[in-house]
């Protein structure tokens, strides 16, 4: 195909992708995921909130544990993405039984990975926490909390993978409802297990960890119940023979491993990135954390529409409708971009007011306002990066997003972050300019890859 034919073909798809039928399919898929992600943000802050009622060492314990759990989650996401891709492709092929078998193989892989992680966490908890800088006074709180959350990480992993399976089957409502229930249980149990009730005196910070784990156990039971009772197109039979299917496990791993490596690249890049920010001083570090908290809410539409794109790409490729797959992905990105542009405009205008919710320090306020306005400007590219990356992953093309993340994080964000912030003396603003440059270049690279259509020919067993 020459460049002129390529341009005409893609222009036709862009004109046709925004029809009412497409919108009616994408929005019901995306909205529950957006709500679920809001709930996940709230869930992640519940332990921190209640820990704050104890003392600053307890807050530090939760923060250090979260850093480690984010690395663990990279492995769990690898299985989740592999599951979503294979399930959605088999649903498109009208092979729900094979999709169900893929879920069972994912559960087996999940249990193996998370048990290994749990054993490592139990044996090496103390040195892991010390390596990450936990001082003796923090370690007193961090060690029991880490044990309560990280050792039984099998439940977190199962929660992520089972939710991924349901989304791959086109059901985003059940994971949302389960997340809501898990949030409510976590909030109630956090209060009871940390502070006590009636004659029960509470367990302190370890109670917060147990509350989170119990909430995850209940979530896993709910998700398994829905899958086993056939509440969706997939119906699991947990009592049938559990035989390792080497071919399916290889397929899940082949798709998932690059996605997991991508997340690890991001996590370790963020550690280096974070060290540069700490070197800029306390005000810059506080401002960065506040800006990051505000920015986390801008991700939510793209994450929701990204799941919708991945699901519909997989379904339509399975049904041998590659042009429909492309249409759905571009429509999902368009809807996401519209929402994120609106968020960007709001951020730009409301920045001076938003910052006052978090701090009264004038220097921190000045830095946060500048950063939020940078965030506001790159919202369309953030949408492009997240949605198109998800669409490629839904097609089984997980290597290119991994390579683009490697280039973006280490070749652009870290290098230019140092150049702008230290050499050009732009401080925190320079760090976020490098971040925006990474997002812009990565978004363009991913879009070019997507429009070249190589993902349409990827075979999945």
Looking at the predicted structure, is the pLDDT value of residue 433 above 90?
yes
% of residues, the chain, pLDDT over 70: 94
Q: What is the mean pLDDT of the chain?
A: 85
Question: Given this model, what pLDDT does residue 461 score?
Answer: 62
CA 34/CA 341 separation, integer angstroms: 16
Q: pLDDT: is 195 or 432 the higher one? A: 432
Distances in Å between the Cα of 360 and the Cα atoms of 23, 140, 347, 428, 429 are 43, 32, 19, 19, 20
Helix, strand, coil shares of the chain, percent, nearest 5, are 85, 0, 15
pTM score, two decimals?
0.84
pLDDT one-digit tens code per residue, 98-155: 888 888 989 988 888 889 999 999 999 999 888 877 778 888 888 999 999 988 989 9
Question: Given this model, what pLDDT does residue 6 score?
Answer: 44
Task: Outline where 202-243 has alpha helix (H).
Answer: 205-228
Residue 345 CB coordination number (10 Å): 12
Q: Which of 6-20, 122-136, 254-268 has the lowest mean pLDDT?
A: 6-20
Looking at the predicted structure, is the pLDDT value of residue 256 above 90?
no
Q: Rg for the chain (alpha carbons), in Å? A: 22
Q: How far apart are the first and last CA of the chain?
A: 28
Cβ-based neighbours of 203, under 8 Å, separated by 6 or more: 193, 194, 210
């Amino acid at each position: 195909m020459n460049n002129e034919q390529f341009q005409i073909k893609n222009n036709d798809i862009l004109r046709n992708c925004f029809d009412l039928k497409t919108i009616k399919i994408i929005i019901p898929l995306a909205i529950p995921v957006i709500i679920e992600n809001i709930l996940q943000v709230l869930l992640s802050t519940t332990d921190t909130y209640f820990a704050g009622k104890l003392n600053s060492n307890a807050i530090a314990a939760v923060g250090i544990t979260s850093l480690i759990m984010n690395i663990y989650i990279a492995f769990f996401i690898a299985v989740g993405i592999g599951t979503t891709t294979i399930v959605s492709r088999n649903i498109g092929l009208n092979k729900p039984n094979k999709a169900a078998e893929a879920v069972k193989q994912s559960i087996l892989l999940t249990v193996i990975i998370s048990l290994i992680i749990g054993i490592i966490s139990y044996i090496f908890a103390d040195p892991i926490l010390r390596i990450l800088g936990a001082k003796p006074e923090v370690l007193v709180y961090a060690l029991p909390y880490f044990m309560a959350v990280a050792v039984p990480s099998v439940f977190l992993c199962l929660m992520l993978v089972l939710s991924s399976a349901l989304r791959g089957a086109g059901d985003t409502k059940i994971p949302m409802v389960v997340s809501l229930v898990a949030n409510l249980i976590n909030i109630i149990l956090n209060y009871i297990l940390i502070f006590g009730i009636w004659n029960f005196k509470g367990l302190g910070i370890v109670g917060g960890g147990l509350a989170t784990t119990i909430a995850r156990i209940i979530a896993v039971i709910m998700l398994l119940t829905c899958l086993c009772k056939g509440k969706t197109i997939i119906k699991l039979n947990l009592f049938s023979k559990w035989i390792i299917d080497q071919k399916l496990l290889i397929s899940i791993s082949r798709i998932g491993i690059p996605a997991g490596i991508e997340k690890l690249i991001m996590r370790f890049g963020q550690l280096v990135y974070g060290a540069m920010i700490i070197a800029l001083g306390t005000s810059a570090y506080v401002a960065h954390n506040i800006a990051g908290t505000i920015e986390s809410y801008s991700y939510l539409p793209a994450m929701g529409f990204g799941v919708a794109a991945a699901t519909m790409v997989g379904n339509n490729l399975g049904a041998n409708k590659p042009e429909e797959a492309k249409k759905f992905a571009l429509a999902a990105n368009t809807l996401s971009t519209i929402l994120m542009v609106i968020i960007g405009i709001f951020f730009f205008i409301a920045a001076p007011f938003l910052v006052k919710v978090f701090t009264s320090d004038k220097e921190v306020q000045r830095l946060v306002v500048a950063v939020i306005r940078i965030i506001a400007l790159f919202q369309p590219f953030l949408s492009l990066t997240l949605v198109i990356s998800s669409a490629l992953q839904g097609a089984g093309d997980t290597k290119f997003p991994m390579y683009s993340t490697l280039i973006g994080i280490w070749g652009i964000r870290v290098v230019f972050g140092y150049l702008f912030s230290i050499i050009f003396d732009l401080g925190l603003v320079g760090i976020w300019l490098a971040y925006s440059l990474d997002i812009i270049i990565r978004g363009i690279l991913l879009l070019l890859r997507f429009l070249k259509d190589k993902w349409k020919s990827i075979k999945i067993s």
